């Protein structure tokens, strides 16, 4: 039997430290499942493990792509499964760690299969969005897939403000003549491993304090300089990310620096809340307080083997 120990939870909760402790105990390797840590141009703002942490255990999918590459969750799923197959030839354990719920789900359960879309339709949707804005995309989804629109509006309303996601929904509807939701929840591929899901949590005040401290440290470590270097490419999808977006607004003279930093903290806190909502949906996850001794978590994992 092969086991994929999966560590989830909100940002700044201590997932990296736990993953290294578990990798050392089970003598196995770590796959990052953080959709922004893939990019080599983004280091400080994505809280990439530091050199000491990277040396403490073998990591995969850390800064292995460029922001200029079009890298999707489907691409990640395929590459992660290939890597897991290789790792499981040598070891009964591997660790998956990250805060990107969609990417975690893709590895554990499979990613929905969508047909190829005519590039002309994609171009037309993109062009209409540039001319008409996000309202165009919202109206299209409301008309072409009203049930899915309502579901998003109830469960994850911020998605309606995400141009990349909304363009994808719209192009699939237009390109296939079918609702986007009709392609969801199809039969997924089988997995040759058993997941053991570990969640880290804390009181909201503790999570928020840890986030505020982390942002302060990022600023001290040079996040402003990193964001300034990336600013000319601010339109890229990879850079539509908390921590960079707010500083781009500072460079655009829309925010003061102090206000931009407070916005990073506020938006990161909101992101953490959304992460917890996503991960709490999976009833298979065993939740631990972030301060739980690692030996207790190891004991739980061993009880599942």
Query: Is 12 marked within a binding site?
Result: yes
What integer pLDDT is reported at residue 188 of this predicted model? 65
Query: Is 163 marked within a binding site?
Result: no
Query: Is 11 marked within a binding site?
Result: yes
Residue pair 122/171 in contact by the 8 Å Cβ criterion: yes
Query: Is 177 marked within a binding site?
Result: no
| Residue 151, C-beta contacts closer than 8 angstroms, at least 6 positions apart | 181
| Angle between helix 257-279 and 101-109 (nearest 10) | 30
Query: Is 207 marked within a binding site?
Result: no
Q: Which fold has domain 119-183?
A: Histone, subunit A (1.10.20)
What integer pLDDT is reported at residue 240 of this predicted model? 87
Query: Is 99 marked within a binding site?
Result: no
Number of neighbouring beta carbons within 10 Å of residue 213: 12
pLDDT in tens, 37-92: 999 999 999 999 999 999 999 999 999 999 999 888 888 999 999 999 999 999 99
Measured distance CA(74)–CA(110) in Å, rounded:
9
CATH of domain 3-111+188-304: 3.40.50.300
Q: Where are the beta strands (DSSP E) in the chain?
A: 3-8, 30-32, 59-60, 93-97, 194-201, 286-289
Q: Rounded to 5 degrees, what are φ and ψ at 93?
A: -130, 150
pLDDT in tens, 118-173: 888 888 999 899 999 999 999 999 999 999 999 898 877 888 999 989 999 999 99
Residue 20, Cβ density class (10 Å: 0-12 exposed, 13-18 middle, ≥19 buried): buried
pLDDT in tens, 160-204: 999 989 999 999 999 888 899 888 876 667 899 999 999 999 999
Cα 305–chain centre separation: 28
Measured distance CA(203)–CA(88) in Å, rounded:
36
Model-wide pTM > 0.85: no
Query: Is 133 marked within a binding site?
Result: no
Looking at the DSSP assignment, which residues form a beta bridge with residue 39?
65
Cα dihedral angle (98, 103, 107, 112), rounded to 10 degrees?
Answer: 170
pLDDT in tens, 221-257: 999 999 999 999 998 888 989 999 999 999 999 999 9
CATH 1.10.20.140 in the chain is located at 119-183
CATH 3.40.50.300 in the chain is located at 3-111+188-304
Query: Is 157 marked within a binding site?
Result: no
């Amino acid at each position: 039997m092969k086991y994929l120990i999966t560590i989830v939870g909100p940002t700044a909760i201590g997932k990296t430290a736990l993953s290294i402790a578990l990798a050392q105990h089970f003598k196995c390797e770590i796959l990052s499942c953080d959709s922004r840590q893939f990019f080599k141009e983004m280091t400080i703002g994505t809280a990439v493990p530091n050199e000491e942490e990277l040396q403490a255990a073998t990591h995969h999918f850390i800064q292995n792509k460029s922001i200029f590459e079009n890298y999707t969750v489907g691409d990640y799923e395929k590459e992660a499964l290939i890597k897991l197959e290789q790792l499981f030839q040598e070891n009964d354990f591997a660790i998956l760690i990250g805060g990107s719920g969609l990417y975690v789900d893709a590895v554990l359960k499979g990613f929905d299969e969508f047909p190829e879309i005519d590039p002309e339709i994609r171009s037309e949707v993109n062009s209409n969005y540039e001319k008409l804005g996000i309202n165009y995309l919202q109206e299209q989804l409301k008309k072409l897939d009203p049930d899915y629109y309502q579901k998003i509006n109830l469960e994850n309303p911020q998605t309606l403000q995400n141009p990349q996601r909304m363009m994808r929904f719209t192009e699939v509807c237009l390109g296939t003549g079918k609702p986007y939701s009709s392609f969801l929840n199809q039969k997924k591929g089988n997995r040759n491993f058993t997941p053991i899901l570990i969640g880290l949590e804390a009181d909201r005040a503790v999570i928020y304090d840890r986030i505020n401290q982390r942002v302060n440290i990022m600023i001290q470590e040079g996040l402003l300089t990193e964001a300034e270097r990336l600013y000319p490419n601010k339109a890229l999808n990879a850079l539509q990310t908390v921590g960079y977006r707010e500083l781009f607004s500072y460079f655009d003279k829309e925010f003061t620096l102090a206000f931009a930093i407070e916005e990073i903290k506020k938006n990161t806190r909101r992101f953490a809340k959304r992460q917890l909502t996503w991960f709490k949906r999976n009833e298979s996850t065993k939740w631990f307080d972030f301060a739980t001794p690692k030996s207790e978590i190891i004991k739980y994992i061993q009880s599942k083997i």
